[in-house]
Structure 1
Amino acid sequence: MGKLVILKIGEGSFEQGFPVTLQIGDENARPVVEITGELPPNPEIPRDYHRWQSTYRNLKLPSRPIGLPKQLIQAPSLEDCQQVTEKLKVSFNTWLACDGFRPIREKWLEKLMSADKIRVLLQTKDLRLQKLPWHLWDLLERYPHTEIALSAPAYEQVNRVASTSDRVKILAILGNSQGIDTQADRKLLELLPNADITFLVEPQSQDLTDRLWEQHWQILFFAGHSSTVETNVTGKIYINQTESLTIGQLKYGLRKAVERGLQLAIFNSCDGLGLAWEFADLHIPQIIVMREPVPDRVAQQFLKYFLAAFAQGEPLYLAVRQARERLQGLENQLPCASWLPVICQNPAEIPLTWQELSSNSANLPTPVRTVTHRQSFSLLLLFSIAIAGLLTGIRYLGVLQPLELSAFDQLLRSRPQEKPDSRLLLVTVTEEDVQAQPESERRGSLSDKSLAQLVEKLAIYQPQVIGLDIYREHTLAKDYPQLHKWMSQSDRFVSVCRVSDPQTGKSGIAPPKEVSADSLGFSNILTDADRVVRRHYLALTPPPASPCQASYSLSVQLALRYLYSKGITLEFTPDGMWQLGKLKFKPLEAHTGGYQGIDALGHQILLNYRSSTSPNAIAPQITLQDVIAGKFNAAAVKGKIVLIGTTAESFHDYWPTPYIYQGNAQEIPGVILQAQMLSQLLSAALDGRPLLWSWSIWSEVIWIWLWSFFGCLLAWYIKRVDYLILTATIAFVILYGSCLIILILFGGWIPLVPAALALGCGAVTVVVFLNSYFQQK
């Protein structure tokens, strides 16, 4: 979609400065941005311009002026002209780079992209400002699809009558051709496609007036001599060898031509700003004039380049810019050729293309369409809701689950470190501990003898509870009656078994025969599709055929015994939720957070790993041989939960976690994983450390929609791609930071990936689709 920029320069002077207002908006729409600035006093600017103008006009160039006598001084050289030209360009751009004008420049750079097609209207009634070479403003040179036009502060739209012709109607006036070749202009016009041209060669004033009244002209063309009277800013055209006319003398005929559809006037003649100034009162849509005396060759080449581009479909402004810039090739011999052509625009009108001029409907008045803030808001709301709905649907189907779980892992890893849980003591059976036991006595990783010695040593120092995370399907040897008594009668000992899983076909593992059902906990682990453990099994209903009938997990059994000593018991709320003191456990459902359609059977919660450099650093650890040898501190055991398990890699009891080690998911022993689960329950019940939770589905939908709407807003108001990318990046950082802070402080798993996608999709949708929508409208 094209952009319209209006630069309004108010009442002022080069001695006192000028107030400036910048407006930016889309074509066919009201401005959406307005900012003010100022140009400071600088009397040198008009003096530099006058030196350039005097030098240029006194060059010995074959041109089309009459009434512009050269001063009786030595003719300046081309080098002289180049020097004053460069000085004017530098001083002009220095003036526009002042501090007071900087807000104008910065807002322009923020809202407009180099790829935009931009029409710039300079709106001022100061003729000296209009004469300045605005096309040399360094800011405009960054935008290759931009052209600046002059405009009067007062304007209005004229209701025009539709033409009945399907060809472009052109009235071409070939005026006084003394010393110039106007026939070259005629030949160029005759090459135009789909054009109906009437030529008036050196006409009489009456003949010209009659022709203006008689037909519906769309383009008025003049080639010949013209000039501007500086004293009263009056333009004059020389229609034949003896007659000249001002625009005022043709006022009624020209006004009628405008009412009948005149769209464009081209004066391929000298010093035409006075003509444009007078034309402003007639409200003609567009005029192209030459700002200074124009050499005959420059006039012909400009017409050739402009008509070729315009007739091939280029917009009027870009056709003028192309033609003007191509004149640079002549400037070694004809300096400042590319300075001369300039457009004068009626702001109430929209420039038409050649194809539109040949359409009957193109001659009807084109109203300026407006897009209100309410309409903009409604469209952004519509698109953001559609994006949020689409993403929610895709998410519900589980498409985003792998990305969301990866993002969740990243958030977990980004949390600050926590201290190890001092309420736990891990007794690990290492590979060395296994090998140290006689092979004939081993029952898995732990022999009866080693277990008896271990329990005997630990019991002396009164641990709160001992948990055995090692499967023991065999019967205890009769040589250890004290161990048998401890395992069967003590309420401070919990052993482990595995419940059968009919869905996966994984068989169960029976518990030790010496342990009562009340002192059993299952060790079943929940893994996701990538095998990573992110969920914590609290309870389940074992199948009747399972050899393990434990209903609570090992971590729950150990936690309940420890918490009982602190006066906290497990209760159930009326809606069936677990409650430990003030802590309530909300079980996972099939659609929870980033999980979509998971098997939520049993009582599951998210596993809130204790954050540290490694999940292995959950609690103090001591090896089996060190305990048996008495190499430990009694304070490390008394009143603690002692968890016994193997870390020997040969038993393959390792589980992937959200943490990363050497580029892969870090695997930890099962006993460490049980310690993470146990610590989660204790910390939540005793320390207030939050359990992980997620919003309801509707809360997440609203969150996703908010970010979608925010992305739409960013793209709607920030037009430059680099600024939009920067702002969107900052928005993503804010989104990520918000999700991380909520996770750290409150344990909330807030949708990150869907919100980020909503932000990006909202911005892309506005850039790609909304702009094209308004262009079509």
Structure 2
Amino acid sequence: MKKLVVLKLDGDLHLGVQATLEIGEEGKRPTTEITGKLPSNLDMAIAIDQWQSTYRSLWKFTRIKAKKIIYDGCISQRRQECNTKASEVREHLNDWLLSESFRPVREKWLKHLMPDEEVRVLIRTHCLQLKKLPWHLWDLIDRDYLKAEVVLSIPESEAVTTALQTSIFRSKIRILAILGDSDGIDVEQDRQLLEKLPNAATTFLVEPQYSDIDDKLWKQPWNVLFFAGHSKSEGEASCIYINKTDKLTIDELRYALRNAVANGLQLAIFNSCDGLGLARELQDLQIPQIIVMREPVPDKVAQKFLKHFLEVFSSGQSIYAAVRTARQRLKGIEKEYPGASWLPVISEHPAVVPMTWAKPRISNTRRLGTLLLLSLLITVGVLGVRYQGGLQTSELLLYDKFMRARPQEKQDPRLLIVTVTEEDFQLPEQKERRGSLSDLALTRLLEKLAQFQPKAIGLDIYYDQLLQGNQAYLATRLKIDDRLFAICKVQELTKDRPGIAPPLGVTPERQGFSDIIPDTDHVLRRHLLAMQPADVTSPCTARYALNAQLAFHYLQGEGISAKYTDSGDLQLGKVVFKQLQPHMGGYQQADTGGYQILLNYRSVQGSPGEIAPKVTLTDVLRGKVNAEQVKDRIVLIGTTAQSFRDYSPTPYMTGQAFSEEIPGVILQAQMLSQLVSAVMDGRPLISVLPVWGEVLWVWSWSVVGGAIGIAGSVAIAPSDRSKLYLILAGGGVLGVLYVFCLTLFYQGIWVPLVPSALVLVATGGTVAIYLFSQQSNDN
């Protein structure tokens, strides 16, 4: 946190000085204040005058327009004398600031400021004598607080009427550079340094007339006023030499400069001699910040200072850091130019916000290029993680959520489910059962159903045992009834049993397997339609699932036959059932063997278990089922008894933590209904975009996220408010993305939500952070 220290000094070295110290954070009211007193110090007044006299006797070619100085004695001796006087001034200054009456001020400083903090020390006084003191040599600043910089100011504080400073940060800095009389000096070096500045538009006036300067200050807005040439201060008047014959006082520029301040002028740099008088008069005109040289400045020192100052200031650092660094660099040439580091002085109005250099604004083209590059890189990264299966779990969980959120549907009227329950095991016909159905119960069940002329009957009960005694009807029915389809299992989980055979006598054309492929979380989301059995020892050789066989039979009666397209996809009527491929949709690490499609559950009354009307075995055998319930329907027979545990988890939830499990016969009904409804009713299947479509979809949301980041950073400067804006905007767009994905899912299209949300947030955040950092550096 940057700190502001204000030291108000009332008095002079002859009478003593009343001192008030205020400490606070930049841009805020001071939180600490204390007063002290500095005694009179005539010795220091004499020492500073002697140093000034010795210093001025050194230079022949300085940026001052004055009478020739008569030099006598050895130059090295005069340099040594200047250094000796400088040491005396420094010693007097620090002894004075250690006065007992000033100790409370010093102790308050040490208590409230940390040595590593960046501190602006504002010396506010009317006394020119006090302004001439080398405050940068105060031991607290020179030795202990290395990030502190002294600034001179006036005691009064008034609001400055100037153009909004934000305009500086949004465009190039406009510099008006006046190169005045250069007799005996080289101002061309100053020009070359200014021409190389980044993000600056500099207009040069070389040895101009007064009217040229006046017109420029009135007619155009400027951010920086620069002067290089000869200048001097005599008494209360200061002037600059604008050409070889004319000089110009500050008073003559009074109204033009006030207009320039109102139009955005924030900094005046006078890289010329004897500038304390210039600073005093310019400050009266409310120019926010002024840099001058306190004494006559050798040409080489002026050039070195400007070079080092502009390097640091134009890099985005504060004006105080730039002057401090330039002063420290000048220390390196003090063997040849004694006192060089004493010369630069900042004088500023106390009520202004310090200026910072504007870095080049990021152009729209550059923003667009950055956005596209970042969005592409982030999209590739996220899709790479997705390709390796890193997002599959989260995508499947959202798939389940979408499945549960869909509108409710009506029961499929083409189906009837006959369930065998725990209570049905108690029927007299079930006394000799070896599984869920006895031969007698199955015989009577088929007899009852046959009377009502169903379109097809699917036996979803394993019935691989030999028939017992006098069951000729059942044996014959199993062999010749082309409406009866039975189930078998290609692969059993136990190693000692490779599969389960179909009922004896059922022809291969009426056999269907019951195998399913659950996901790693055991939830069933895929529909296995067909496969080529790999185990030659399996007693089940069916190529199609039971539900597929029943659907083919039913649709054949409607004049619709199954066939395969040129690309190998199953087609029923006009509906093509796209086979699930590796790396397709949310599935990136899944077994896609066989012919699989996504299972589009039909939810009735919030449950997949109510897909079709149901009756029990008891209902059928006891005559409680009529012809209307059976005629022209597909009848599925299966057990729902919990003791058989023929249940599979589904995406539907019954509570906070458990998937709703449905029995195998209901699962077969769901799969059968999906096939028939897609062909007969146009009910949508769950499909996914092609790979290129998913890439474009995800990348487009990455671009949207980046656009939000750009909009937020451009519209609002970095702040808590801008962060809140980005969070709200990002949250709103995430909501829109969710609604889009859910709406498309209602239509049967499963688009990537998780990777889209990730790239949206990642790209938006990255772009915002990048642009905010650029703005912070600019500011």
Distance 1:439 1:478, change over 3 A: closer
Match of 2:744 among 742, 745, 752: 742
Distance 1:506 1:659, change over 3 A: farther
Match of 2:629 among 627, 630, 636: 636
Distance 1:279 1:610, change over 3 A: same
Report the equivalent of 2:772.
771
Report the equivalent of 1:473.
464
Residue range with higher mean Cα deviation, 502-511 or 666-675: 502-511
Q: In structure 2, the residue corresponding to 1:425 is in which secondary structure?
A: strand
Q: In structure 1, the residue corresponding to 2:638 is in which secondary structure?
A: strand
Report the structure number with the largest CA radius of gyration: 2
CA distance in structure 2 between the partners assigned to 1:395 and 1:285 by the alignment: 59
Deviation at 1:244, TM superposition (A): 5.4
Q: In structure 2, the residue corresponding to 1:591 is in which secondary structure?
A: coil
The answer to whether the aligner puts 1:221 opposite 2:152 as a matched pair is: yes
Deviation at 1:766, TM superposition (A): 2.5
CA distance in structure 1 between the partners assigned to 2:666 and 2:419 by the alignment: 9
The answer to whether the aligner puts 1:724 opposite 2:717 as a matched pair is: no
Q: In structure 2, the residue corresponding to 1:445 is in which secondary structure?
A: coil
CA distance in structure 1 between the partners assigned to 2:546 and 2:618 by the alignment: 24
Match of 2:477 among 472, 476, 486: 486
Q: Conserved in 1, the CA contact under 8 Å of 2:464 and 2:501? A: yes
Report the equivalent of 1:698.
692
Distance 1:752 1:202, change over 3 A: closer
Report the equivalent of 1:762.
763
Q: In structure 2, the residue corresponding to 1:426 is in which secondary structure?
A: strand
- Equivalent residue letter for 2:152: F
The answer to whether the aligner puts 1:278 opposite 2:270 as a matched pair is: no
The superposition leaves residues 22-64 of structure 1 with CA deviations (integer Å, 9 ceiling, x where unpaired) of xxxxxxxxxxxxxxxxxxxxxxxxxxxxxxxxxxxxxxxx997
Share of identical aligned residues, percent? 40
Report the equivalent of 1:258.
269
- Equivalent residue letter for 2:578: K
Deviation at 1:698, TM superposition (A): 2.1
1:503-542 pair list within 5 angstroms: 507-542=498-533
The answer to whether the aligner puts 1:659 opposite 2:652 as a matched pair is: yes
CA distance in structure 2 between the partners assigned to 1:540 and 1:356 by the alignment: 77
Deviation at 1:356, TM superposition (A): 3.2
Deviation at 1:434, TM superposition (A): 1.6
Report the equivalent of 2:365.
374
Report the equivalent of 1:356.
322
Q: Conserved in 2, the CA contact under 8 Å of 1:476 and 1:514? A: no
Q: Conserved in 1, the CA contact under 8 Å of 2:560 and 2:572? A: yes
Q: In structure 2, the residue corresponding to 1:725 is in which secondary structure?
A: helix
- Equivalent residue letter for 1:754: P
The superposition leaves residues 207-237 of structure 1 with CA deviations (integer Å, 9 ceiling, x where unpaired) of 99xxxxxxxxx97625579999x9xxxxxxx
Deviation at 1:771, TM superposition (A): 2.8
Deviation at 1:633, TM superposition (A): 2.5
The superposition leaves residues 383-434 of structure 1 with CA deviations (integer Å, 9 ceiling, x where unpaired) of 1111111100000010110000000000011100000001000000011002
Distance 1:501 1:776, change over 3 A: farther
Q: Conserved in 1, the CA contact under 8 Å of 2:452 and 2:631? A: yes
Report the equivalent of 1:564.
556
Distance 1:637 1:286, change over 3 A: farther
Q: Conserved in 1, the CA contact under 8 Å of 2:123 and 2:153? A: no
Match of 1:627 among 588, 598, 620: 620
- Equivalent residue letter for 2:758: L
The superposition leaves residues 157-205 of structure 1 with CA deviations (integer Å, 9 ceiling, x where unpaired) of xxxx9xxxxxxxxx99xxxxxxxx9x979x98x9999999999996699
Distance 1:197 1:499, change over 3 A: closer
- Equivalent residue letter for 1:741: T
The answer to whether the aligner puts 1:408 opposite 2:405 as a matched pair is: no
Deviation at 1:481, TM superposition (A): 1.6
Q: In structure 2, the residue corresponding to 1:491 is in which secondary structure?
A: coil
Match of 1:582 among 574, 580, 596: 574
Report the equivalent of 2:220.
none
Q: Conserved in 2, the CA contact under 8 Å of 1:221 and 1:265? A: no
Q: Conserved in 1, the CA contact under 8 Å of 2:702 and 2:756? A: yes
Report the equivalent of 2:186.
none
Q: In structure 2, the residue corresponding to 1:644 is in which secondary structure?
A: strand
- Equivalent residue letter for 1:566: E
The answer to whether the aligner puts 1:648 opposite 2:663 as a matched pair is: no
Q: In structure 1, the residue corresponding to 2:445 is in which secondary structure?
A: helix
The answer to whether the aligner puts 1:592 opposite 2:584 as a matched pair is: yes
Match of 1:601 among 593, 596, 606: 593
- Equivalent residue letter for 2:592: A
Q: In structure 1, the residue corresponding to 2:678 is in which secondary structure?
A: helix
Distance 1:204 1:695, change over 3 A: closer
Distance 1:389 1:460, change over 3 A: same
Report the equivalent of 2:539.
547
Q: In structure 2, the residue corresponding to 1:359 is in which secondary structure?
A: helix
Q: CA RMSD in A?
A: 4.9
Distance 1:261 1:489, change over 3 A: farther
The answer to whether the aligner puts 1:446 opposite 2:437 as a matched pair is: yes
Deviation at 1:555, TM superposition (A): 0.4
CA distance in structure 2 between the partners assigned to 1:199 and 1:676 by the alignment: 86
CA distance in structure 2 between the partners assigned to 1:731 and 1:500 by the alignment: 47
Distance 1:201 1:484, change over 3 A: closer
Q: Conserved in 1, the CA contact under 8 Å of 2:548 and 2:672? A: yes
Report the equivalent of 2:489.
498
Deviation at 1:544, TM superposition (A): 1.5
Structure 1, unmatched stretches of 5+, are: 3-61, 66-116, 120-134, 137-160, 162-170, 173-180, 209-217, 231-241, 288-346
- Equivalent residue letter for 1:579: Q
How many residues end up aligned between the 2 structures? 526
Deviation at 1:350, TM superposition (A): 6.7
Match of 1:672 among 666, 671, 678: 666
Distance 1:243 1:579, change over 3 A: same
Report the equivalent of 1:235.
none
Structure 2, unmatched stretches of 5+, are: 3-7, 12-24, 30-62, 64-88, 91-98, 133-148, 162-233, 240-247, 258-266, 293-312, 330-343, 345-354, 717-721
The answer to whether the aligner puts 1:684 opposite 2:673 as a matched pair is: no
Report the equivalent of 1:86.
none
Q: Conserved in 1, the CA contact under 8 Å of 2:709 and 2:764? A: yes
Deviation at 1:611, TM superposition (A): 2.4
CA distance in structure 1 between the partners assigned to 2:547 and 2:272 by the alignment: 88
CA distance in structure 2 between the partners assigned to 1:118 and 1:479 by the alignment: 104
Deviation at 1:249, TM superposition (A): 5.1
Q: TM-score by structure 2 length?
A: 0.59
- Equivalent residue letter for 1:580: L
Q: Conserved in 2, the CA contact under 8 Å of 1:560 and 1:570? A: yes
CA distance in structure 1 between the partners assigned to 2:356 and 2:725 by the alignment: 37
Q: Conserved in 2, the CA contact under 8 Å of 1:465 and 1:642? A: yes
The superposition leaves residues 566-587 of structure 1 with CA deviations (integer Å, 9 ceiling, x where unpaired) of 1101011122211111001110
